[in-house]
Structure 1
């Protein structure tokens, strides 16, 4: 899995072209994503990964980082609620997962091994997204 990770480099380095500063009237989310592209991958926090994955930014680089965390703690509360990083990851497009078949298989195996009560407290849309991902 680590073969895909470049901890000291930023998304602007790895996923050209550089985005540069956001427009003056950009939303807070757009400003956040632009800023996160300048952070070295090794310094991205779970909440940052949730934001980038949910916005489908540079998935070949951020999805492996997210999966790495999810394999250790599948129901990680990154920012909003338990399982929010998982929700973002399992909703990533199939094309992103097709490029990362080993990570897809590892996350799928981890999720199918979870006892049913572990999923009981997740929001309904997260539980549905996980079910679709593991089907």
Structure 2
């Protein structure tokens, strides 16, 4: 079980320190979010980190908990953007974490239809690659 009061840095035992002086806003935000307790991460925080493939092993289960309650949970972009970030986790994540795959399968099966143009292609690609 993941301790929600600990940050990714603490959970992974890997401190990134301060972002580079020339870091973009995205990079600076990712560095800051790695120091935030994972239980305090919002859907947008999870979307941003997962979109950068940061903390995938820790954050996919947390994102799936949100998605199980609301498959179209959204960050700052559009309904379902958190799901898209989860679906685009590295392909190696799913065989190594079959419980996560079962959970995401149930989330995808619960999606209302029809899906919009931002959501349908990643859902179809994930189904083809991982759900047969």
TM-score (norm. length: structure 1): 0.87
Which residue of structure 1 aligns with residue 37 of structure 2?
A: 40
- How much does 1:15 deviate? 1.5
- Given candidates 125, 129, 133, the residue that maps to 2:126 is 133
3-state DSSP of counterpart to 1:130? helix
5+ residue gaps, structure 2, are none
Task: Specify whether residues 83 and 50 from structure 1 end up closer, same or farther in structure 2 by C-alpha distance, changes over 3 A only.
Answer: same
Supply the RMSD in Å over aligned alpha carbons: 1.4
Unpaired runs of at least 5, structure 1? none
The equivalent of 1:57 in structure 2 is 54
- Asked whether the equivalents of residues 82 and 122 of structure 1 are also in contact (C-alpha less than 8 Å), the reply is no
Secondary structure at the counterpart of residue 52 of structure 1: helix
| Deviating 4+ runs (over 4 angstroms) | none
| Contact 2:71 2:110 survives alignment (8 Å) | no
Give the 5 Å matches for 1:114-133.
114-117=111-114, 119=115, 121-123=116-118, 126-133=119-126
C-alpha distance in structure 1 between counterparts of 2:59 and 2:3, whole Å:
10
- TM-score, normalised with respect to structure 2: 0.89
